[in-house]
Amino acid sequence: MDSNHNSQLTVHDATLRDGQHAVQHQLDVSQLRAYAVAASAAGVPVVEVGHGNGLGASSRQIGYARLDDATMLETVREALTGSSRMGVFMVPGWGTGADIRQAAACGADVVRIAAHCTEANVMRRHLGIVRELGLEAQAVLLMSHMTGAERLAEECRRAVEYGAQAVGIMDSAGHYLPADMTERIGAIVAAVDVPVIFHGHNNLSMAVANSIAAVEAGARVIDACARGFGAGAGNTSLEVLVAVLHRSGHETGIDLPALLRAADVAHDRLMAGPPVIDSVSVASGLAGVFSGFKPRVLAAAGAAGVDPLEVFAELGRRQVVAGQEDLIDEVVRGLKVAS
């Protein structure tokens, strides 16, 4: 048992941001408000909101949101009470410094800057802007299974040099197993002196187990979504995670009965039903492909009469990442010709 075993964790609730992928970024004002009120009543420390791909990402390429960024942020900010803080997410290239400044004006408290797992250098300017604005600056590495523990630790160390006050990794494809957490989170914890973040996806039904393994390896900020709301097989289930953390003796400061009520609100108000781990989700996780590709892969493969599992396998071989959605059609065409 590590020395931090009983120290309080920060559970970062991404329901109103990452969950947007499951509904093509179409949550409305009433839905955002209803869930934010319920999460805040449960004492959730950070409630993240926005387009699924973050600030400035609403676009033809990856999907227009129902609401603009300012409306989403202002709605949630007004709904949060007590100690709950509001978080936002941004990927340089989709979002800009102007988007960060707008988020600050709308009351954001925590700003996460994200980049591909080997490209922390692209975060430098934006982390600096966050710090200049007096907000909490965090850095996360996407598609982190695409490189090893030592490189992840080095990229996180660079992010701290650029101003990040917490750093970590996202299992964007739901590819990890608990042993991977022990290795990767352990290496990052040893390399930095700020809290370490883990964000899991559930393609292989390991998201909660991986999150617990990350905590045992020293992570102190863990992401989750109510009912696992999110693209494909979904994210780490928030209410299950908190229940398991409490059962394991880890403090979160969250009122679990109130959180279960918030999860019911999410179930009833935000989604048609909780995410399901289907064959395509498993194929995506094994191939190490971003879960958000699922709708487009199914549509393109169906139209061309090719096997979507083969599409995911080829996308995995090419190490395609979010932002390269155009390659889905190329892969489908190639498979159709080959057949």
Q: List active site positions.
A: 21
**C-alpha pair distances (Å), 35 with each of 1, 48, 87, 110, 149:** 35, 11, 14, 19, 36
DSSP codes, 219-241: --EEEEBGGG-SSTT-B-BHHHH
State both tokens at 50: 């926005």
Are 230 and 18 a contacting pair, CB within 8 Å? yes
The residue with tokens 């590709």 is 293
DSSP codes, 102-132: HHHHTT--EEEEEEETT-GGGGHHHHHHHHH
Residue 168 to residue 187: CA distance in whole angstroms:
11
Residue 300 to residue 278: CA distance in whole angstroms:
18
